Amino acid sequence: MADERGAERREATRYFTCYPFHIQKGDQGDTGDMEIAVIQDLSVTGAFLLVTTDLSVGARVKLHLDFGDAPGTVTVEGRVLRSERRPADVSDLWLYGAAVQFVELDAAVEASIHELAKKVASTP
In a domain, 4, yes or no: no
In a domain, 8, yes or no: no
Distance CA 115, CA 106 (A): 14
In a domain, 25, yes or no: yes
CATH label of the domain that carries residue 39:
2.40.10.220
Per-residue pLDDT of 61-80, as tens digits, reads 998 877 655 655 678 899 99
Angle (CA) 106-84-87 rounded to 5° is 125
Q: Are 121 and 16 in contact (CB under 8 A)?
A: no
pTM: 0.76
Per-residue pLDDT of 15-37, as tens digits, reads 666 767 788 886 555 556 788 89
Per-residue pLDDT of 75-112, as tens digits, reads 889 999 999 999 999 888 899 999 999 998 888 888 88
Q: Which of 34, 58, 38 is nearest to 47 (CA)?
A: 38
- The number of residues making up the chain comes to 124
Provide the domain count of the chain: 1
